[in-house]
Amino acid sequence: MPTEQQYFENAKPLTQYMDDMTTKKEESFNIYNQFDIPADDEFIVLLKEKAPHILVITEDWCGDAMMNNAIIRRIAEAADIQIRAVYRDESLELMDQYLTNGGRSIPVYLLLNKKGEVISKWGPRAEKVQQYVTENREKFPPKEDPTFEEVQKAFYADVAKEFEGNKDFHLAVYEDIRNSWLQALQK
């Protein structure tokens, strides 16, 4: 199996990945265009200094990826570091090393040091976003209920709108990534 660094070397730049999107492209670019990196010299300076690479495991149909990829692209651009993406469904060997609660939840972001070693993993969601999703899923009827699919479909549509327009969520994603990666970069 290839190493994470080899996956990175063969992956698409995230800019190209976003340009190639066929689903949720407009929404992802809306987030990208409205999100500004908070004034945060410590995190961005440390990223510039350490010059890690970011490997993204993603798919463009994913609502979390729609939001998170746009924000992490802004981080990478601010720090002038490379970020590349692989498709989850084409990279299952890699994906299966980074499961979330036993599932292939995406996106997953791997922070690689200069030697190509994984020094941190982040994803698929910021804690604040996870709380929102969990609280709303608790309102679903049981799966056996004839309205379950309708409720679930409406929820996914609402989540997509919320992910696109909720600037508090965008900031929560940034802060969650920042807090996670600062620890790894300071070692």
What is the structure's pLDDT at 128? 97
From the list 56, 52, 42, the residue with the least C-alpha distance to 80 is 52
Per residue in 100-116, pLDDT tens?
999 999 999 999 999 99
- Please state, as a whole number, how many other Cβ atoms lie within 10 Å of the Cβ of residue 174: 22
Looking at residue 84, which CATH number applies to its domain? 3.40.30.10
Q: Which residue has the tokens 């409720």?
A: 151
**85 exposure class (CB count in 10 Å sphere: 0-12, 13-18, 19+):** buried
**Residue 151 predicted with pLDDT over 80:** yes
Return d(Cα 24, Cα 68) in angstroms, integer.
12
* Total of domains in the chain: 1
Per residue in 2-19, pLDDT tens?
999 999 999 999 999 999
Q: What are the residues whose beta carbons fall under 8 Å from the beta carbon of 46, sequence distance 6 or more?
A: 182, 185, 186
Q: What is the mean pLDDT of residues 134-162?
A: 93
Range of the domain at 111: 4-185
With 0.85 as the threshold, say if the pTM is over it: yes
Q: Helix, strand or coil for residue 51?
A: coil
Per residue in 29-71, pLDDT tens?
999 999 999 987 789 999 999 999 999 999 999 999 999 999 9
Return d(Cα 13, Cα 142) in angstroms, integer.
42
SS (H, E, C) 99-153: CECCECCCCEEEEECCCCCEEEEECCCCHHHHHHHHHHHCCCCCCCCCCHHHHHH
What is the structure's pLDDT at 40? 73
Arithmetic mean of pLDDT over the chain: 95
Q: Give percent helix, percent strand, percent coil of the chain, each to the nearest 5.
A: 55, 15, 30
From the list 43, 4, 73, 5, the residue with the least C-alpha distance to 186 is 43
* Structure confidence at residue 1 as a pLDDT band (50, 70, 90): confident
Return d(Cα 112, Cα 116) in angstroms, integer.
5
Region of 41 on the Ramachandran plot (φ > 0 left; ψ -120 to 50 alpha; else beta): alpha
Per residue in 61-104, pLDDT tens?
999 999 999 999 999 999 999 999 999 999 999 999 999 999 99
What percentage of the chain has pLDDT greater than the value 90? 96
Q: Are 186 and 160 in contact (CB under 8 A)?
A: no
